[in-house]
Structure formats: structure tokens, C-alpha cells
């Protein structure tokens, strides 16, 4: 029942407050083109928000030079951290206000992009970020935001959501509004090429999870569906290549595009139980988000198999050069095998360290609650189903049989 309510709530939200895709640049030189667009758009005082290590590696040197040559006055904020806090947002806001910045360029991972989303919106909405917590709280259009993601997984460069950690309550605060979506984004394979193999595989599997959860959501939009299928095709084909050889810039670009399309798809349809469970595991054990998703994904696919047979069969038909059968049941099973095989190719472990039986009740309760409040899932779980998944993770079993 609640899943049905979520279905209509998500459908209404995405219909009446649609997410607009950023103008996209991709391939070699994409960052330079984005910078040029900012200059052409008349921005004179850009604020660059960048991950500290990228700044130290000289990743934005060329960008700063281009702005300076065009007569712009650039401000740089590089004190971004994983799980950004309100303190970081406030520090960044102070710099932007003092330097009268007129636009924001973010170069970095999901945390940097989340920081930039909230900063650009706060700058035109009273400069108090805490007042923007929640859904549809951005009244005035944010300062124009441009994004260059340095990882391929979160899809943050195309989503309408940002997450900031409140250190006083130890809670993550969500900011949801289509106005957070950047004006334009650049998928620059040179920037992503330095991502280590383990991060490449786990963030890529996060993107794949976004696409599959979008495709199996009971909320349907034809454009989200099309992008989810494209994302799955791109990720299944190119993630193993990017994992094996990070310097393959074409593979990097295709994985980044897959992540972008998956981000757009799930921002319209919502997510599912893989994310509901992984969020709780990460909260308990600080497990990286992509890794937790990658380990849980094959198990939730098996849980959904009975109701998603047609959907999985469609995906198998989209992926297989020559589908082995006309039988949907066989095709659905082949799709799951294909994801197992991909997980092995990019060396996703079958287990996660540190899971304790004593936490199972709390993890199951909170995962069910998250799904019940937020997602339009194809098949509702019970606490016992979540615990079966957790036990399979402890046992190191990719396969799982539900009672
Ligand atoms: Fe995710």
C-alpha cells in the first residue's frame, strides 16, 4: 500500500517539478569547453569548488589560467571533504560572498558537487544553508552551477539532491529540489583516468545499481527508462575495460556517460532495496557506498526475480548479441548471471567485513523504513528477507535463496 502511495508521490513530483538535464560536454577537452561556456555566459567572478587533492595535483591549473586570460577573477575553495558538513558549506559561502562570486564551477566527486549545489542555492536564498533542508525549499534560482565530476558513480552532476552531514545531530540532511541540477556538466575522461581500480569498480557498480533500480521501479517515465537501458548497456560493456585499464580514455568516457544517464533515470523514478539496505550498512560500519551496493545488488535481483521476470528479460535482450532463448524465465536468469559475471570481472567481493548478527534487527528495520518512506519498489520485503540477505553477505554467498 505504502509502495503505491510512493509510486504516485514520486510520479507527481517528477511530473510537476521535472528535472532538467544539464547541457553536456564529453570527451577530451570537455572541461575547457565548459569553461568557455561560462565565459560566453558572461560570468566574471567564478568560484571554483574543488577536491583538495585535485587542486594539489594541478587538475584545475589550466581552467584557472583560461578564466584569468578571459579577464575573470577566480576564487578557489578546496577544503571539501567526504561527507561534507555545514561548517564546510558556511566556510565556502563566506568566501563566495566576500569575493562577490557570480557563478560556481565544481570539480570533484559527489561530496564536492553536493557542497556546490547547496552553496550556489544558499547564495541567492539568504545565505543560510540550514533553511534549505528538505524538499522544494529553493525559492530563487541558484547561482549558475557547472559541474565536472571526477568519479563515475554518484550521478550527482545530474541529480536534484544534495546531502550535508549535521555534526551536532550526527544526521545526514537532504536537500531536494530540481533547481539544484547544474546548468551544464563536463564528462572529462582525463580527469577520471586517475581513479584507482577498486574505486572504478565499486562506483561503477553504484551507477549500474542506479540504472537497474530505476528500470525496475514501479514509477515509469519513457525517457528515464530509455536512459536506464543505455546506462546498463554502457556500464556492462565498458566498466570491465575501464577497470582493467584506467588509461583507456574511451572506456572512462563511456562509464562516465553511463553514470550520468543512470543518475538522470533514478532522479525521476527513485531507487530501491539495494540502496535502502546499503545506506544502513554504511551508517553502521562506514562501508563505502558503491562497495555495499555492489555486494547487495545480486541478492536483491534474486529477490525481485519472480515479479521482474519481464523487465530482466528485456534487459537481457538489450544486452545479448544473440539471446539464448525466447523464454522470459530463462532470459531473466541469464540477466542475473550476467551481473554475477560482471561482479566477478571487476572483482567485487561476495562479502563485507564487519557485519554483526547483533545489528541485523536494526539494519532490517531501518532499511524497510527507508524503502517504505521513499521508494516505489516492485516487491515489498519483510525483515526476514533483509536478514537473509545480510546472512548471505556474512557467508560470502553471491547467490541467495529466499524462503
Ligand atoms: Fe548510489
Please give the pLDDT value at position 1.
Answer: 56
Q: Per CATH, which fold does 197-395 belong to? A: Dehydroquinate synthase-like, alpha domain (1.20.1090)
For residue 95, how far is its CA from the centre of ligand 1 (angstroms)?
A: 30
In the predicted model, residues of the chain with pLDDT beneath 50 are none
For residue 278, how far is its CA from the centre of ligand 1 (angstroms)?
A: 9
Can you name the residues that pair with 186 across neighbouring β-strands? 25
For residue 116, how far is its CA from the centre of ligand 1 (angstroms)?
A: 19
For residue 61, how far is its CA from the centre of ligand 1 (angstroms)?
A: 30
User: How far is residue 23 CA from its own chain's centroid?
Assistant: 18
Task: Please state, as a whole number, how many other Cβ atoms lie within 10 Å of the Cβ of residue 98.
Answer: 9
- 11, 114, 129, 142, 204 from 134: Cα distances, Å: 18, 14, 11, 16, 28
Please give the pLDDT value at position 360.
Answer: 96
Q: What is the CATH number of domain 18-192?
A: 3.40.50.1970
How many Å is the Cα radius of gyration of the chain? 21
For residue 279, how far is its CA from the centre of ligand 1 (angstroms)?
A: 9
Q: What is the pLDDT of residues 61-89, one digit of tens each?
A: 999 999 999 999 999 999 998 888 999 99
- Report the alpha-carbon distance of residue 380 to residue 304 in Å, rounded: 9
For residue 29, how far is its CA from the centre of ligand 1 (angstroms)?
A: 27
| Protein residues with C-beta less than 5 angstroms from the ion ligand 1 | 206
For residue 400, how far is its CA from the centre of ligand 1 (angstroms)?
A: 22
Domain boundaries, the chain: 18-192, 197-395
161-166 and 171-176 beta bridge pairing? antiparallel
For residue 190, how far is its CA from the centre of ligand 1 (angstroms)?
A: 23
Q: What is the pLDDT of residues 294-343, one digit of tens each?
A: 999 999 999 999 999 999 999 999 999 887 788 999 999 999 999 999 99
Please give the pLDDT value at position 321.
Answer: 84
For residue 206, how far is its CA from the centre of ligand 1 (angstroms)?
A: 5
Amino acid at each position: 500500500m505504502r509502495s503505491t502511495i510512493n509510486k504516485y508521490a514520486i510520479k507527481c513530483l517528477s511530473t510537476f517539478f521535472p528535472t532538467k538535464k544539464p547541457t553536456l560536454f564529453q570527451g577530451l577537452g570537455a572541461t575547457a569547453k565548459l569553461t568557455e561556456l561560462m565565459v560566453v555566459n558572461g560570468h566574471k567572478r567564478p568560484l571554483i569548488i574543488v577536491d583538495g587533492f585535485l587542486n594539489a595535483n594541478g587538475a584545475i591549473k589550466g581552467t584557472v589560467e583560461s578564466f584569468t586570460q578571459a579577464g575573470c577573477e577566480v576564487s578557489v575553495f578546496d577544503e571539501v571533504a567526504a561527507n561534507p558538513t555545514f561548517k564546510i558549506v558556511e566556510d565556502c559561502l563566506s568566501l563566495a560572498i566576500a569575493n562577490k562570486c557570480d557563478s560556481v564551477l565544481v570539480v570533484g566527486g559527489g561530496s564536492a558537487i553536493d557542497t556546490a549545489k547547496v552553496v550556489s542555492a544558499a547564495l541567492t536564498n539568504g545565505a543560510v544553508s540550514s533553511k534549505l533542508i528538505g524538499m522544494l525549499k529553493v525559492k530563487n534560482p541558484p547561482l549558475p552551477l557547472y559541474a565536472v565530476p571526477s568519479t563515475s558513480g554518484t550521478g550527482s552532476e545530474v541529480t536534484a539532491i544534495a546531502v550535508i552531514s549535521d555534526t551536532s545531530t550526527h544526521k545526514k540532511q537532504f536537500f531536494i529540489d530540481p533547481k539544484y541540477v547544474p546548468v551544464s556538466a563536463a564528462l572529462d575522461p582525463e580527469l577520471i583516468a586517475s581513479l584507482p581500480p577498486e574505486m572504478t569498480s565499486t562506483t561503477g557498480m553504484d551507477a549500474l545499481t542506479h540504472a537497474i533500480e530505476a528500470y525496475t521501479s514501479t514509477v515509469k517515465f519513457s525517457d528515464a527508462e530509455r536512459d536506464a537501458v543505455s546506462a546498463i548497456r554502457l556500464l556492462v560493456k565498458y566498466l570491465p575495460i575501464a577497470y582493467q585499464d584506467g588509461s583507456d580514455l574511451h572506456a572512462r568516457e563511456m562509464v562516465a556517460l553511463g553514470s550520468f544517464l543512470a543518475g538522470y533515470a533514478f532522479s525521476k523514478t527513485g531507487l530501491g532495496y539495494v540502496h535502502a539496505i546499503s545506506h544502513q550498512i554504511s551508517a553502521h560500519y562506514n562501508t563505502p557506498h558503491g562497495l555495499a551496493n555492489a555486494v547487495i545488488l545480486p541478492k536483491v535481483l534474486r529477490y525481485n526475480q519472480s515479479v521482474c521476470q519481464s523487465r530482466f528479460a528485456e534487459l537481457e535482450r538489450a544486452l545479448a548479441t544473440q539471446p539464448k532463448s525466447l523464454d522470459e524465465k530463462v532470459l531473466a536468469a541469464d540477466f542475473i548471471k550476467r551481473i554475477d559475471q560482471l561482479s566477478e570481472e571487476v572483482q567485487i567481493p561476495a562479502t563485507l567485513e564487519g557485519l554483526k548478527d547483533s545489528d541485523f534487527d536494526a539494519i532490517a528495520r531501518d532499511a524497510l523504513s527507508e524503502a517504505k518512506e521513499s521508494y516505489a519498489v516492485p516487491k515489498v520485503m519483510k525483515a526476514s528477507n533483509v536478514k537473509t540477505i545480510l546472512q548471505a553477505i556474512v557467508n560470502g554467498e553471491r547467490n541467495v535463496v529466499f524462503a
